[in-house]
Structure 1
Amino acid sequence: MSLGALRPSPLVEQAAERLREQISGGDWAVGTKLPGETSLAKSLGVGRSTVREALRALAGAGLVQARQGSGVFVIATRPKEDWSARLRQAAITDVYEVRMLLEVEAAELAAQRRTDDDLAALDAALAKRRDAATGSDEEFVDADIALHAAVVAAAHNPVLTALFTEFVPALRQGLIDLVELLGLRSGDPNHGDEGHAALVDAVVRSDAEAAGRTLRDELRQTLAQLHSL
């Protein structure tokens, strides 16, 4: 099979794309063993090292798998979906349900693990949320998310922090839409201040049960409002 020589640069990206096209186009079905590196390098007009890196990229995308002593085999015809892309496409209510599971646990851990630096960060985030009450809906939502991020950070679990960070883009737009569509700040520019103050207070007092309960109640209320849209 002739794949056609490639342009000089960037070779690895071009090689990976060419091989991806062959796989998605059905030239190599699932379960098929790919030609060896030498053969692929000759067909593509590149070195073996370029082919090796291209195959690693395809393995990372979930298209191929190297089997020790056997070669490289096709295991899928489409790349596995990126987590961030999946979140962007998900319904905001689905994202919010998972957010509840993540953040309630984080709040309870934060109450148990928070440091003096965390307390200072929480106080500052709550103050900024209050200051943002005079700003736009976008500014207010950003300040709200920053306070929640400070709570998650106080849990001192890098996996929880990374997961929350992944959720932020989908959450941000969903919350902006919620605020605007329901006019949540029309009568109270600092909507939800009491609940957020109670959350910070529970973390300060190291009351894990209260921190989890306060956040769960707030998020359930917001989820109900999202379902009403």
Structure 2
Amino acid sequence: MPPGPVRPSPLVEQAAARLRAQIAAGEWPVGTKLPGETTLATELGVARSTVREALRALAGAGLVRPRQGAGVFVVATEAAEDWPTRLRRAAATDVYEVRMGVEVQAARLAASRRTPEDVTALERALEARRVASGADDIAFVDADIAFHAAVVAAAHNPVLADLFGQFTPVLREGPVELLALTELRAHDPNTGDDAHEALVRAVAEGDAETAAEVLRAELGDPFGEQGARRGVTRTAEGPE
């Protein structure tokens, strides 16, 4: 039974939701060609341009795929998870493995491409991290992430910057919980300061390999040797 006309505001979202529901209900099984834009527009009571945009949204969600000269076909009944959702569900160890690849390369590039303004930004971020050592764990982790974001920014690669930005919510949760459980900062409020200072120095001096190595070691033991001595590890469930 064809659906009734949708109401305005906003039409594209409503049309996409209606088509998504029909696909999920099995009205058009996987492999089925959808009716043409004119037919769908009539059924939904909207313009063809609205249907076209709705189909683009469904294609972006991985539900349909247009085939040139053949039409639009259903390829899945459930939308694929977006990248932020997948990151939130990922094991912390998996995220950190990818983070290391992104940031180590960013550090290497930062040392090669840094500008005087980048060096200044890194020095300020390092000082802000030191100031945050007198605050609570959340503020300290936020300052630490801001420092690492400054390193990535100095690489002048927008793709690396976008990837790091996607990681940020996940990066924030694990360390906050870890610091609270282990009380590492009770012994060293500014834990990891030496490594961060060495990284700034390597980037400022244009030493790409040292910058990469310092960051690789720092991410391998993000809260210093105390964490390693205490046997702290990250798992999908969080710190042990």
After TM superposition, the score normalised by the length of structure 2 is 0.91
Cα distance, 1:5 vs structure 2: 2.1
Q: Separation in 1 of the partners of 2:217 and 2:21?
A: 49
Look up the match of 1:67: 67
Contact 1:178 1:226 in 2 (8 A): no
1:24-52: CA deviation from partner (whole Å, max 9, x where unpaired): 11111111000111111121122222211
1:1-229 matches, within 5 Å, as 1-222=1-222, 225-227=232-234, 229=240
Q: Separation in 1 of the partners of 2:46 and 2:153?
A: 46
Cα distance, 1:3 vs structure 2: 1.7
Q: What is the SS of the residue equivalent to 2:35?
A: coil
Cα distance, 1:190 vs structure 2: 0.6
Cα RMSD, aligned residues only: 1.4
Q: Separation in 1 of the partners of 2:10 and 2:151?
A: 43
Cα distance, 1:196 vs structure 2: 0.7
Q: Separation in 2 of the partners of 1:27 and 1:226?
A: 48
Q: Separation in 2 of the partners of 1:54 and 1:99?
A: 34
Cα distance, 1:4 vs structure 2: 2.2
Q: What is the SS of the residue equivalent to 1:186?
A: helix
- Residue identity in the other structure for 2:169: P
Give 5+ residue unaligned stretches, structure 2: none
Moved more, 2-11 or 148-157: 2-11
Q: What is the SS of the residue equivalent to 1:29?
A: coil
Give 5+ residue unaligned stretches, structure 1: none
